[in-house]
Amino acid sequence: MSEFKFACPICEQRLAANDDDAGYQINCPACQAVIVVPSNPAGPAAAPASVPADGLKKETPPRRQRAAPTVFGWMVRGLVVLVLLLICIFSWWRLLLYHHVNTQFDRIRAAGYPVSGAELNAWRRPVPDPENGALVITQAFALIRTFPDNRSNEVVGTKVSRTNQWSAATRGLVAAYVQTNAPAFAKVREAFQLSQFRYPADFSFGPETDMHYVAQLKQMAIIAELAAALDAEEGHADEWTEPVELQLKLAGTLDGEPAVIPYLVRVAVIRMAVKSAERSLNRVSPGDEACRRLQASFTRAGGTNTLPLALIGERAVFIPVFRLSTKEFQAYSRDDQAASPPAGPVRFSGKPMPFVFLTGFFERDLNFYLQTMDKSISLAALPPPASLALTNYFQSASVVARKGLYPFSGMLLPSLSKVILKEAALQADVRLAATALAVERFRRAQGRLPGGLEELAPQFPDAVPADPFDGAPLRYRRLARGYVIYSIDADGRDDGGREPPERKESGDKTSYDQTFTVER
């Protein structure tokens, strides 16, 4: 058997064949035409193809030729492999993220803390209604009254500052307003016969939780502020301390409220009490027992750091926001449309939309938020000035959130960046007030002002607390008439006790201290 070559009669392509191939039909590899292999011209004629019994020639099926892969084919195959690889990488990342988030949830729950508004409701210490002083205080809120005429605006506009002088007309107006609200005060005093306080709040509504009681509590504190100022204006030396103590007690009822809004109102009310004491001491000094009692009240208020509790509650309230269900998302979408009537508050289920959950976009945001809040709660629990590191931490985390496409974290964290400064300012205020009352007790006992705060130590060993902004003792300076006790404030500069103005102008670049001044 020998090999020979022949030309395709159609395209004249030179083909090779063996003697045994003669007479068989094949497909030309070049033009794909069906041709019959001729006999080898150099050898004997090929034997005729066998003829079946029916007399018909059986044709041999054409041989299939595998086409060579094209560039496009390679591209498709590469794309398929790449997609499969990306799916594998994404699945691994998503499983890892799921593990990280759940590990953080397990750690929070193991520490005994809640991870949702519903869990926060169950986590709060229950107080039976008959023992709950907060319920009695809410009854006092219902008794708050104002004038039916323009005098209500005049009362709201009454200034209660250290240097402000009231006219006889203002004293009369304030006296009438305080007397009008005497029943509310009586109900508040009744509430303080109880020792436990828990305001009604359902935190399963998340950020929409109704906490209207904090605004009413602040209004009651303002009435107490006016009452203290009025007593001091009228020279009632021992009487003005009682409304100030009432302010501190009102603030104390918020100690167990696990949210940032009640925490901020607590801070505002305590600082209001400090200003009430400063104004009143500039007019008349109470007796030693009244000073001692009020000094102890300020020290007690400053000894309770409720910021970690507020952040724990804030974390629990906002975790479900990262996992909105379809119903919750639609409810918020309707609220965003001005033409739609406002919908009622929606309870957060913490059950996210399946597709959104699978993408992991908001889960990575939640993971970042949990990590940030965990570190923040630890920093907030430190005593000042170590706790001031929380400000820089929140600011850095906010920058990372914006750059890292963490949308919810980017909205929530900046609002918390200065909360520790408010805590430090609160600590400074109560320490200034307590120290000023110790100075007044010294003056009453010795008949003179001390030359320095160190003179207070033998009689009042706890009367010289540290400045929360730098850890050094509070500063004290004698004035031509009276004295000033001060903290260097958040800017870290000692300005010699420069008192800030009542209203600081936006363009004012002057540095001030946090002061408690008595010019008497």
Alpha carbon distances (Å) from 202 to 102, 138, 256, 287: 25, 16, 14, 44
User: So what's the pLDDT on residue 46?
Assistant: 47
The rounded Cα 59 to chain-centroid distance in angstroms is: 83
| Extended strands (E) in 2-54 | 3-7, 14-18, 25-27, 34-36
Q: What are the domain boundaries of the chain?
A: 1-64, 74-112, 120-311+421-518
Q: How far is CA 6 from CA 37, 45, 213, in A?
A: 8, 15, 104
Which amino acid, residue 476?
Answer: Y
E-assigned strand segments in 37-180:
none
| Per-residue pLDDT at 112 | 95
> Which three-class secondary structure state does DSSP give residue 150?
coil
pLDDT computed for residue 65 by the predictor: 54
- As a whole number of angstroms, the distance between CA 45 and CA 324 comes to 86
Distance CA 273, CA 489 (A): 19
**pLDDT, position 339:** 47
499-514: pLDDT as tens digits: 998 887 777 889 999 9
Residue 333: per-residue pLDDT: 64
Contact 152, 146 (CB under 8 A): yes
pLDDT given at position 3: 80
CA distances from 340 to 206, 210, 321, 335, 423 (A): 22, 21, 22, 7, 40
Which ranges of the chain have pLDDT less than 70?
Answer: 1, 43-69, 332-344, 462-463
> The whole model's pTM is what?
0.83
Which residues lie across from 486 on neighbouring strands?
475, 515
3-class DSSP state of 428: helix
| ∠ Cα 423 429 435 (to 5°) | 135
Query: How far is it, in rounded angstroms, from Cα 489 to Cα 388?
Result: 12
